[in-house]
Structures are given as structure tokens and as C-alpha cells.
Structure 1
Amino acid sequence: MADRRKNRSWVVRAIISFVAILALLTFFSNTIMNATIPKVMAQNATKGNLSFTNSATGVIEADTKTEVKSINGREIDQVLVRNYVSVEEGDVLLTLKPAEDLAELDKARADLADLEAAAQAAALTPSDDDFSVQQDAIRSAQDTLNAANEALNAANNRDSLIATAQGNIDYYSSIIPGLEATADAEAAVVADYNDQITAAETELNNINLQIANLENMGVTLPSETAAPSETSSEGTEETAPTTAALTTQQQNLVDLNARKAELEAQIADLNTMRDAAQGRLDEASASLGAAQASLASAQADLQAAQALPSVADAQADVNAAQSSLNRANTALSNAQATAAATAVTTARTNESREEQIAAAEEKIAKLEESLTCTEIVAPCSGLVYGLVVSDGNVMTENQVILTIIPDDSTYSVKFNFKTSVAQNLSEGMELTVNDAYIDQCRITNIYPDESDPREKRVVKCALSSLEDIFPGTQITVTADRSNANYDHVIPASAVIHDNSGDYVYIIIESSSPLGDKYVVKRIDVTVEETDGALCAISSKDGKDDTLNQGMIVTRSEKPLHNGDRVRLEDYSNPGSGS
């Protein structure tokens, strides 16, 4: 009895020790986990009002301008103007380096033509330097040697090639029956659906004939039947609703129409299921065809490997091919040596002629760089803008080297506004300009932006100022201030942007015996408006209720990812947390 009590006491102490150790491990595991979970701040989205400025920036453009184009190939000697200076019509804009006499250019071209004619005549003279026969023999011998080497390599690897081909044959032979069974099964399913569709369509056609016969007999649906008219006390006729029971033919017509609707729905469902089965059949047939093609290829590889010659025979073919190539190379060397002696005199003559042609081409190239023009003048009076050349530049074809804006030119600028803002604007209105030297910015046209015609509008404005207006400079305008009420207003810091767009993290809370658990969920949003500190958002998928599932993360100590576990923290109180 004493031993039994002693054993029981030992078991109780062991259980108590196990429970204590388990509790201790649970405490430390939670503590370590909490130390690794990122801390975040969060708050619920609230309804609120945002006030913001509708402004935009644009680049000033001249409405009237004259482009001054280049002279192709001419080198600029000196540019005499700069951007934003006024010129008069006829003023010299830039000078060009002088060109040589055109008569010299014409003579040089004639001399070159004579030299090229002589060279062409010499080229037509037969020579002994045609080695095409010998070269063809070398190429043929080289091809034969390459093929012999490939056959030798294949013969050395014959066993490996056979093993690989046989392995592929075994594999595809093992999977093809299963693929054939799958294809046959799907074909049977498709055929069964087709039979059901045919039967339903046949029944539907019969019902349509019965309905047509009843309608031809004058049978109508109950809703089309009216009760006989009665005469009221005032002498007028009134129509009373019928209460008579349906006739047998009317009941038959009602039943037929109900069956017709049932069959039409059944046929639509069968067609959908048949199409799905056909897709699976096509996929199975494609897999089967690919496996069969691979099997045929492996069988061909096996036959080719088994037909390879022995290593000794293949080596003999290589030796013979190498001897043929050596003989072909020797024949070419002999032919070239024979032709070399004959070509010495001809080469000297041709060399002299080629030197003369090269000198003539060089002279012509230099002469063509210059023409008779020595300067480019202003075609009209105005302001120089967009100058893109400088001293020493060689101009290219159709290059716009600068633009002249007439003194009487007007100026305009284009701004991009949201469609919701542009709806409050109209032609003739004036926008507030942030740049003091612009006196007036008046709207002349409003039209959709090609890049986003639904959401954006281009607002074109005419500018006026007592001071000079310079094209190419930017100005900013304010259309108005707006304010609106929104259902979901959050701090701007809560909105994150990546390549997919804007999004926020919602905290999903769950409870367990070990405590509360917080996990973040990514919600893609659209930023409807912002005032810099706050912004109004809506769910991109239109389901704004998802924004009310929990608090929205406004700050995190480290980057978050969808599904991350977090713990709430009040950064304003370092000692708080959960």
C-alpha cells in the first residue's frame, strides 16, 4: 500500500511539472513572437469634408511662328543671334563657310566618270584569277569531312544514343494508353451531350408545332381572354374580369409553353456543358498528339542510331575525306601561284587607276560640302526662339534650326484638369495665374485629353500681358477651390503606391485562447481627392464595405506585405503596445 501511494505521488508531481514547463514555454514563445512582429499605428476611415485647390501647370506656346530650316551638309561659320532676341526681316541669322567654285565641281565629276568607265571596262576583261572551281571543290571536300567527323562522333556515342532513344520510347509508350483513354472518355461525354441536345431539340420542335396548331385554331393564353361586357346603370359598357375556368385547349397551350421554356433552358445548359467537355477533349487530344509525335521521333532516333557504322569504318571515312580536302587545297594553291605572275602588270595598272578614283571622290566630297549660299537670313521679323545650332555645326537635312515668332503673335497655354473640375469651366472664363507678369489667362477651348478622354480635359487659354511673354516657360493657374464630403477619409500617409496603383492595409482581428491576433490585408483603392494631409479613398473594385472591415494602417515601423501579422502600437506613447 505504501509503494502504491508513493507511485501516485510521483505521477502527480510529474504532471504538475509538465504543466508548469508547458506554460513557461508558451509565455516565452509569445514573447519572442511579439518581438519579431512589426508595430503599426491604425485608425478607422471616417466620413469627412476635404477642401482643395484645383490648379494646373502648362508651357507657354506661340500661336504664330515661322520655322527656319537648315541647308543639308553646310557647315556653320558663325551664329549671329541667340534665343529671345528680336530680328528684322532680312537680318543675317548665321553665316556659312565659303564653298568652292561650282565649275570645278562639275569638272571633278566628269573626271570621276571617265575613271569609273575605264575601271568598269577593265573589270569586264577576262582574267586568270577565277578560282571558283577550286574553291567549290574545297567546300565540297570540307562538307564531306564534316559529315564524316559527325558520323565518327555518333559511332562513338552509339550505345548512349540507343539507350536514350529506347528510354524515350518506353516512356511515351507507357503514357499514350492513358492519354488515349482520357481522350476517348471525353469524346464519349461530348457525344452523350450531343445526343441529349438532339433529343431536347426534337421535343422542342414538336412542342413548337403543337403551339402553332393551337394558335392557328384560335386558342389563346388566359391573359388574352376577356369576359363579356356588361351595361352599367348609366348606360355605359364595362368589361368585367373573367372567372370562367380554362378550357382544355387553353390548359394544353399553357402546359406546352411551360414545357417549351423548360426545354430551352435545358438546351442552353447542355450546350454549356458540352462546350466545356469539348475543351477538355481538345486538350486531351493535343496531349495525345504531342506524345505520339515524341514517340515517333524517338523511334526514328533509335533506327538512326542502330544504322550507324562501326567506329573503324567511320574513322576510315574521316581519313579519306581529309585526304580529299588536302588535294583540293593543293589544287587551289597551284592555280593561285600560276595566276599571280600574270596579274602583276594588271595589278599595277589597276592600283594607279584606283588611286586616281579615290583622289577624285575625295575632291568631289569636299566640293559638295559647299554651295553658293554663304548666310541664312530671317524670313520675317520677330523673336528668335528654339535655336539648336552653334558655330561649327554641320547642318542636317530638314533640320529646324530656329523659330521666329512675329511681334504681333498671340500666346496660349494648355492645362490638364480633371473632368469634374472642367465641368465648372467654360470658354471666356479667366483663370487665376500664379505668375504676376501674366495679366490675363482666358479660356478659349475645352476638349477631351487624348491620353484619358473620360477622366481628363485639356483647357486651352489665351494669354495677355503688358510685359514680354516668353515661349517655353511654365505658368501655374488656379481654377477654383473645392470641398466635398467623402465616406472614407484617412491620413495621406496610409496610402501606399506601387506599379499596380494605390492601396492600403486593413487590419483583420481574430481572437484565440492565447490572445488577440492582428493580420493585415491589402485593399486596392482609388484616391478620389487629397488636401496633402488627408485623402478620400474608395475601393477600386467598387466594394467600399471592405474599407469598413477594420482599422487602416497609417504607420508601420517596417514595410508590410499582404497577410503579415502585426501588433498595434501608439507611437506617441513608447510604453504602450499590444
Structure 2
Amino acid sequence: MNNENRSPRKEVIKNIAIVFLAVLLVLTFFSNTFMNYTLPQVSAVYVSQGTISEQIRGSGTVEAAESYEVKFDQTRTIKSVAVKTGQTINAGDTLFELEDSDSDELTQAQKDLEDKELDYKKAVLAQSDSSKYQSDYLEIQKAEKELSELQAKYQAALAGTDPLSSALNDYNSLKSRSDKLTKEKEDLNNQLSAVNADTSDDMINLTGAYYDTLRADKDRVTELEKKVETAQSDYDELSKDVGADTDYASKIEETRKSIESATVELNQLYISLYNAKADDDTTSISASIATKSLEIDQLQRDLSNYLAKSTTSGVLKTKLKNAESTLNKAKKNLNSAKDTLSNDVRSIKLEIKAKLDKVTAELDDVTLKLTNAGTAKDDATAAGYLSASQLELKISEQKDTVDNLYAALEIKKQTDSVTNESNQLDLEAKKKDIERQKKKVEKLKSEAFDAVVTAKMGGTVESVSVTAGSEVAAGTVAAVISVSDLGYTVSFSVKNDQAKKVKVGDKAEITSWYWGDSFSATLSEVKTDTANPQTQKTLVFNVTGSDISTGQTITLSMGSKGQPYSAVVPNAAVREDSNGKFVLVMEAKSSPLGNRYKAVRYDIEVLAKDDNNTAVNGLMGSEYVITTSTKPIQAGDQVRPAES
């Protein structure tokens, strides 16, 4: 009995235990399910093998491959500025026009030369024994005096205040005017001769207006002469056709009367034939009737002929009258055209003759003045006056004379004293210094009147820093020219490890919008980036293209040849923190309630990278790397895979 009571209780306990475990299992399942839905959801891909072609990209502004600065060696005044910023120029184009004037540098150089020469002379005199070399000093002083006089004459000649210069100026001015008037007189005589010319070639010496007028008049006369000739020919032909015998009215009247008379006679013959008796001989009557009939037929034909000729004669007479009218009108027009030509010829001759008389009178006056100016020039020359060029040569010769006298004195002193070597070296140094200063002065003189500054090479004007009327000091940069003739460059900075993967001579492609064609970009230089010298390099490319110009911004791309790698992951899978680069691998762990997934860190080394993928070292090749997640995750976090 006790056993029977115990069995139902066990069954109850057993059932309660089963229910409890079932509830516990259900709660555990739902607990895991709810927890899974709160975990970050991740997308992952398996590590694969592949080829990576690294691309290096960058943007830069197109610049000229080279530029140069336009500077002045002397202080000059700007007369005009011929270019502006951004303007494209060619080699030889005018940049600036300068005022013709002595610069401060030339004035100072001349003063320095005078000071050096004076210093040299003083040094020479200081070493000399005045009593011993007195004659040499007097000769030098005399030569220097002559030099001063020549220089004074030279300045007067330049100013045109001496008799010879004044006479030369007058003579040259009058000679130029005389030559011009002589040419005008010759042209006017040629025009006068050409007025009566018949052909265009002979009339070529006439001026435009005269030529046009006479050519039109003569063409009109020629045209009307042809019309008169044609009208005369037509009139003569019609006159022949009309003939001398044109009185057809009387002939017609006579012929009609003859026909009437013959008809009456024929009727009488028919009456006689009718009245004849049967035995009468009518042979003669019949013969007369036949003869008279033939006569009447002939008269009828003559009448028709006369009537036809009368009609034709009337038409011809009308045409002849019209032809005569046309001929008379043509002759009248021809006479009028000849009168116009004659009047125009007379008028043009009078105009040319008036001009010729005026030019001849002025030429006679100028010739007389020229003769007087020539006499004045000859008198000034005979009096010993020299032209500026002759004086310049004399001054050069006199300077040589002075220099030779000093040199001779120096040699004389050297001969007299061998103990003065130190001073002599100083003199030689001073002399060489003088020669250098002379060359400097000559150079500045030659440049002082160079009134135009031109471009050495073609290109684009980057900047202009002067204006018309301003005075520019020596050494000032007046303009900067980008030399487009030497090509264009584009540069941008990249990381040091990227720079190691390219070399000079590598080609790049343009990836930005570009209108032109035939584009080419070649790496010409790899240099340190001045802004970030520790971590970056600057790549410089030589670029060409049909539409390349300075100031454009273009984007270039270049890459190395593709290399195969055993472990390639998407770029999105690569992460980085203070410890370096790594990937998170999703690893699964089995449990009674299913798989659980965990993000595990794998440290990697990046071997290569392109736009989409990265080749790495540190993975076996079978890992399931995480690329994206719905929430931020870290190594060790539990995750759930994205639903496929």
C-alpha cells in the first residue's frame, strides 16, 4: 500500500521536473535570441588571392617650366609699358619703352672714373721729383689742356652752337628739302607729259584723281568713236539697198494705164472676132488676141513687181532716215566727249603747271640757300672747325696721347728707381682699375640709349611691377615672364612610400576634365616637399597638350604594374590604431544553443593598395574578415553575421 502511494508522488515530482527544465530551456533560447538581436550586425568576406595595381593621384596647377625676371642694370624712366599681366608674348616682342637719358649709374660711373684718373695722376705726381720731371709734367699739362679744349668743342658741336655744326645742320636740312622738291618737280613734269598720253602705261605717272578723270574721258571717246563707226557702216549699207532709182509711183501709174489701154484693145479684138462672119479669116484676129493677152500678162507682172518694190523702198527709206539720225546723234556725243576730254586736259595741265611753278620757285630759293649754306660749311671747315664725330676721334687720340705721356713718365720713373716697386704696383693696380671703370662707363653708355626692352623668350607675363612715367632703380624686377616655349609643369605632394614606387620618366594620365587632345604627362623630378620634408615628396611632371595653359588645375594618376598577392582584403576591412594596422576576423564558437561569433584582432602589414583592395601580410588566406558593421566594434566583441 505504501508502495502504491509512493508511485503517484514520484510521477508528480517527475512531471514537475520536466516542466521546470522545459521552461528553463525555453527561457534560455529566447534569452539568446533577444541578445543576438542586440548584437552589432557585421558583413564579412573571405581573404582571397589577387593582383594589386597601386594608383597615385594628385592635383596641381599648370605652371611654365621656367620663368625669368626682367631687370634693369641702370636707373631708367619708363616711357611706356607694352604688356600686361596674363598676356602671351613671343621672343622679341616689346615689353617696355624707356626714356633716352643718362642714368644715375652712368653719371656715378663717370664721376668714379674721373676720381680714379685724378687719384692715379696724383699718385704718379707723388712719386715724382718735380724738378727732375718738370718738362714731362709741362708736356702732360699741355696735352691735358688740349684735351679739355677738344672736349669743350665737342660739347659745343653736340649742342650745335659752333659755326660748323650750325652750318652742317642748315646744309643738311636744306639738302633734304632740295632733294624732296627736286623729286616733286620731276614727278610733276612726268605728270605733265603723261596728260596727253594715249595708253594706261604711259599715263601711269599721273596721280590717282588725274588718272581716273582722263582715263574715263578717253575711254568715253573711244567708246563713242566705235559707236560712230558702227552707225556710219549701218547708214552706208542702207544707202546701197535704197539705190538711186526710187520713183516707183510714176512707173506704177504708167503700167496701170498701159494695162487699161491694152485691155480696151483686147476687148475690141474680141468684139471683132465675135462680129466676124463664118467665112471670114479670123486667124490674124486670134493671133492679135493671143499677143495682146501676153502683153497684158507681162504688164500685170511688171505692175506687181513695181508695187512690191515701192513697199520695200518705203521701209528702207524709213530705216535709212533712222540710221542717219543715229549717226548724227553718235557724232554729236563724240564731239561732246572730245570737248570734255579737251577741257579736262586743259584744266589738269593748268593745275599741274601751277604746282610745278610753285615747286620750281621754292626749289630755286632752296638751291640758293643751299649754296650759301655750303659756302658757310666750307668756310667753317677752312677755319679749323671740326664735326662732332671728328672731334670724338680727336678726343680719343688726345686721350691716348695723355695716357702715353703718363705711361712714358711712369716708365721713366721706373728706370730711375727700382726701389719704388710697391708704389709702382699700386699705380698699375690703379691703372687697371681705371681701364675696368672705362669699360663699365662704355657699357653703361651703350645701354643708356637702348630705348626698347624686348622679351628674350616667348611666354606669359606673370607680373608687371612698373608703370609709365615711373623711375626704376637698378636691379628692380620690372616683370616676370613664364617661358611657355620651354613647356609646362604640374606638381603635387605624395607620401614617401608612394614616391618610392615611381621613377623619373614614368607616364601619368589625366583624370580631370580637359578640352584638348594629345595630352602627355611625364615624371621629371622627385624632390623633398618643403612643407613636410619628413613624410612627403613632391612629384614634378612635364606636361604637354593642345589646350594647356598656365593657371589650369589638372588631376593626374599613375600606377605601378599589377603584382599578384596571396592575401587580399577589401580596403574597408583594414583598420588602424596606435599599435598599427589590423583586421577583425569573425570566428565562430559552437554551443548547445548554436554558434556564437566573435571579432578577433589580427595584426597585419600592408604590402600594396589600390582603389578597392589591399594586399596584406599576417593572414593565412582562409580568414573571414569583417568589412562593415551596424555599430562600432572592437576586438573581442560578440557580433552576429549579416543575413544573406
TM-score clears 0.5: no
**TM-score where L is the length of structure 1:** 0.36
**TM-score where L is the length of structure 2:** 0.33
Task: Give the structure with the higher percent helix.
Answer: 2
